[in-house]
């Protein structure tokens, strides 16, 4: 079901139910490339967002719970104004959230602005990563109960980081036996270094420049929690650090890291952990893409190709030795 199909069928009616039949809210579908149907509502001088679940089988209760927990910790994220676990008219869940004002930091922003915004964002990110999750991997979305603990789909960290067959499947994208041995060693070391037991940490899962908002040079909040999962608490920093070949991201990262460390001290083996996590992130992506888009597309599409090249860079500079 596309944005347009939902809009033509039920969005006007849902908006009228929530904002009142006399509402003259302007409704505009967001077309940012996301597969999640999202609508921007302008009502009485206020901007709100109506966000539907991506699929009928996917609930939004976990995301609602996450927003509520984060706001209670003082993290600047949208407020959930209304949540519908399953709307028969739309055939799926939806939630109405407030706007985080402003937008991403401009590439031409001053160093002072970048420092202020990303240091504050790093502090918020550390608070995000402080929330415990039962299990690891993608947050379970088939629930409709706000009282259900936030939980991942994998019971152990090893299942999430080093699932059976994940390394072997990398032969499909051309990794050599020697490279596969290095990947195996990196993932095994990450399992050993990572969380013990069955408790992970909440991670944003897609932290990037477009998801850190500011207004007039002041940090206003984090957006887009559609990729949340349970992982190691350093996951988000490792994912952001994958892109340090980009000058704009490299400039932001130093301050994101500084703000994070203000709240959560970085471990003594921080650099090694980032390398291991970065490799595990790419391995998971490739394994997820292969059955979805096929080997040819993984090898030829720009972003998957970049990931393969980045993994090879990590392997070439890693000090790990095959076991």
DSSP assignment letter at 168: G
pLDDT in tens, 129-150: 999 999 999 998 776 555 667 8
How far is CA 263 from its chain centroid? 20
Cβ neighbours, 10 Å, residue 291: 9
50 closest CA partner among 33, 72, 26, 70: 26
Sequence-distant (≥ 6) Cβ neighbours of residue 157 within 8 angstroms: 136, 191, 194, 195, 196, 200, 232
Which of 292-296's residues contact partners 24+ apart within 8 Å by CB, and which partners?
295/172, 295/173
Q: How many CB atoms lie within 10 A of CB 165?
A: 8
Question: Residue 243: CA atoms inside 13 Å, Cβ hemisphere, count?
Answer: 16
pLDDT at 175 over 80: yes
Q: How confident is the model at residue 2 (pLDDT cuts 50, 70, 90)?
A: very low
What is the torsional sign of CA 106, 111, 116, 120? positive
- SS3 letters for 237-260? HHHHHCCCCCHHHHHHHHHHHHHH
Beta-strand pair 92-98/80-87 = antiparallel
| pLDDT tens figures, 261-272 | 999 999 999 999
Instruction: Indicate the average pLDDT of the chain.
Output: 93
To the question of pTM greater than 0.85 for the whole model, the response is yes
168 in Cβ contact with 180 (< 8 Å): yes
Residue of 175, 209, 191 lying closest to 315 (CA atoms): 175
Quick: pLDDT tens for 179-192.
999 999 999 999 99
Domains of the chain, CATH where assigned: 3-98 (3.30.200.20), 111-317 (3.90.1200.10)
């Amino acid at each position: 079901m596309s944005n347009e199909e939902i809009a033509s069928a039920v969005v006007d009616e849902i908006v009228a139910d929530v904002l009142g039949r006399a509402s003259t809210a302007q409704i505009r579908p967001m077309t940012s490339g996301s597969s999640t149907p999202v609508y921007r509502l302008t009502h009485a001088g206020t901007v709100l967002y109506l966000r539907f679940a991506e699929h009928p089988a996917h609930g939004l209760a976990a995301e609602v719970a996450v927003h509520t927990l984060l706001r209670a910790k003082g993290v600047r994220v949208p407020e959930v104004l209304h949540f519908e676990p399953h709307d028969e008219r739309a055939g799926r869940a939806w939630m109405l959230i407030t706007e985080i004002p402003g937008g991403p930091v401009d590439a031409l922003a001053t160093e002072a602005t970048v420092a202020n915004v990303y240091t504050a964002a790093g502090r918020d990110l550390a608070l995000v990563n402080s929330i415990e999750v039962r299990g690891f991997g993608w947050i379970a979305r088939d629930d409709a109960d706000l009282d259900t603990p936030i939980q991942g789909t994998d019971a152990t960290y090893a299942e999430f980081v080093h699932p059976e067959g994940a390394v072997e499947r990398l032969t499909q994208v051309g990794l050599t036996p020697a490279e596969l041995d290095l990947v195996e060693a990196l993932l095994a070391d990450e399992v050993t270094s990572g969380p013990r037991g069955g408790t992970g940490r909440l991670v944003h899962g897609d932290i990037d420049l477009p998801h850190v908002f500011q207004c007039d040079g002041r940090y206003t909040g984090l957006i887009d929690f559609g990729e949340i999962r349970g992982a190691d608490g350093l996951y988000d920093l490792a994912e952001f650090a994958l892109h340090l070949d980009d000058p704009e991201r490299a400039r932001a990262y130093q301050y994101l890291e500084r703000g994070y460390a203000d709240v959560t001290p970085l471990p003594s083996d921080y650099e090694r952990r980032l390398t291991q996590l970065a490799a595990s992130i790419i391995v998971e992506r490739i394994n997820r893409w292969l059955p979805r888009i096929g080997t040819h597309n993984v090898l030829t599409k720009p972003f998957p190709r970049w990931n393969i090249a980045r993994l090879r860079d990590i392997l070439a500079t890693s000090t790990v030795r095959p076991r």
